[in-house]
Amino acid sequence: MPVDAISLEVFKNLFASVAEEMGVTLQRASFSPNIRERLDFSCAVFDAQARMVAQAAHIPVHLGSMPASVASAIDKFEEFAPGDVIVLNDPYHGGTHLPDITMISPIFAGGDLVYFVASRAHHADVGGMSPGSLPLSTELYQEGIIIPPLKLRLSGWMNEGAMTLIIANSRNPEERTGDIEAQLAAHRVGENRMLDMMVKYSVETTIEHANALLDYSRKMTESIIEKIPDGSYTYQDALEGDGQAEFDIPINVRLTVNHKQMIVDFEGSAPQVLGNVNAVSAIVRSATWYCVRLLAEDDLPVNDGCFQPVMVLTPDDSVLNPRFPAAVAVGNTETGQRVVDTVMGALAQALPDKIPAASQGTMNNFTVGGFIGDSQFVYYETIAGGHGASVKGDGLSGRQSHMTNTLNTPVEALEYTLPMRVLRYSLRENSGGDGKHKGGDGIIREYEFLVPATITLNSERRIRAPYGLNGGESGKNGINTITRDSQPEIVSGKYTTYIEDGTRIRIETPGGGGWGEKG
């Protein structure tokens, strides 16, 4: 089959459909609300050189960083066999943070390794010093079990020792077993669909079209960059603390555009910190590539070709490229969001009528765990907020933004599964920044606990508000409130404590920034 515009569109959708069907299988087979309800997972297809060929419309921070996991697996193992499944979560070997467990399966045709399929799912608990495995840690060892690249399946046979070890390090072993088996089921579907495709169209035709898709996306990205005026653009934003203390942690960027190429240099950003907001470089690359992808006006297939025209530089031993075993629990969620805000702030100088104001700039991570009788429960969710306004209109309210697009956990599913009540779940009216176009409103979510538990909050934009642009006002800061014995107390953005039954937690998420001066 010759490569032309029609066949390229066909194969773009064929490859993406493999990842989409993997995702549907993973969701339906999973046990935890985090995967089944919130859809906190991602699936993708890679070629034999670890280049991403296609992805499903899943989590941006997962997908942009997943190529590092596949590359790490290739570096670790010289040989693969049909039926192998590699598992890893080590942030310093291609992972993001420990709850994100990545699996990678090789696909063979005629005895040759041709493709990989990969999945990444956020598991509600993988051990560590607090339930939910997003503790206010000071080193990676405190965050849970560290899984370097290893074979969970060897030629189709389960590595029972590895499986037992992973499960034994979770506070909810039955749920972990179910979610891991769900990922394995998704991989069987992905392998079968890729084999079906190669049988139907031939191996050579699929490879030819995969390469053509990469080249097409590269050229499309180059055309996007070419429309940005040549020059250098800088911006600085900051995190609000590392879970050990509240202080500014600057993130600096210099974005240099030269014709069809872009260099994004984070030199001058803060050194790595003691606490849990350090982000490995794969996350920074992912967040940066995402920002460039946002500039596309047409449907751009997201694959390795999109990444090639954009060089991302992160200084060693910095908060954006830490040295092992620095803590990284929420570098994925919070620092990734701040990298987006920083890069978008620089792009706003080059394209003032194209870039929106800052969205909420946090994922409002909330983890809780405790006992019901002799059984442990663990729960994790992120909470939506306001989108930044733009030249086109007001920002969206109560929506996830930028590096995450997970769903909310429905109140009914949460209360059915866990010993807690949701007392309030509503928009936080007038929390978006004012302006010609108003920022989107955040959310109010309030819980009451029916048993004693340990809770951990990892959130940002509690001190530094989401910025407005072109005269628009900032959105409102988020607020975390804990009420014990009818006594409310506002607590910091990063907070952990043991609570008695009857305690209430109220999370008010930030609004988005406004755009333009109000007339």
Per-residue pLDDT of the chain (519 residues; tens, 9 = 90+): 678 999 999 999 999 999 999 999 999 999 998 899 988 999 999 999 999 999 887 777 777 788 999 999 999 998 999 999 999 999 999 889 999 999 999 999 999 999 999 999 999 999 999 999 999 999 999 999 999 999 999 999 999 999 999 999 999 999 999 999 999 999 999 999 999 999 999 999 999 999 999 999 999 999 999 999 999 999 999 999 999 999 999 999 999 999 999 999 999 999 999 999 999 999 999 999 999 999 988 788 889 999 999 999 999 999 999 999 999 999 999 999 999 999 999 999 999 999 999 999 999 999 999 999 889 999 999 999 999 999 999 999 999 999 988 888 899 989 998 999 999 999 999 999 999 999 999 999 999 999 999 999 999 999 999 999 999 999 999 999 999 999 999 999 999 999 999 999 999 999 999 999 987
Burial class (CB within 10 angstroms; exposed 0-12, middle 13-18, buried 19+) of 231: exposed
Is position 248 within any domain? no
Is position 200 within any domain? yes
Domain coverage including residue 87:
5-218
Is position 288 within any domain? no
Where among 184, 218, 252 does a domain terminate? Answer: 218
Dist. CA 121–CA 417, nearest whole Å? 20
Where among 191, 218, 245 does a domain terminate? Answer: 218
Closest CA to 403 of 355, 459, 449, 336: 336
The answer to whether 385 touches 511, Cβ cutoff 8 Å, is yes
Where among 189, 218, 247 does a domain terminate? Answer: 218
3-state secondary structure at position 142: helix
Q: How many structural domains comprise the chain?
A: 2
HEC readout, 188-210: HHHHHHHHHHHHHHCHHHHHHHH
Closest CA to 85 of 106, 68, 62, 101: 106
Closest CA to 384 of 507, 467, 300: 507
Is position 86 within any domain? yes
Q: Supply the Cα-derived Rg of the chain in whole angstroms.
A: 22
What are the helix (H) ranges across 202-321?
A: 203-226, 281-293, 304-307
310-342: burial string, b at 16+ Cβ within 10 Å, e else: bebbbbeebbbbbeebbbbbbbbbbbbbbbbbb
Is position 334 within any domain? no
Is position 347 within any domain? no
The answer to whether 167 touches 101, Cβ cutoff 8 Å, is no
Distances in Å between the Cα of 437 and the Cα atoms of 239, 432, 443 are 26, 10, 19
| Encoded tokens for 256 | 């240099």
Residue 91 DSSP symbol: G
pTM tops 0.85: yes
Angle at CA 282, nearest 5°, toward 281 and 285? 85
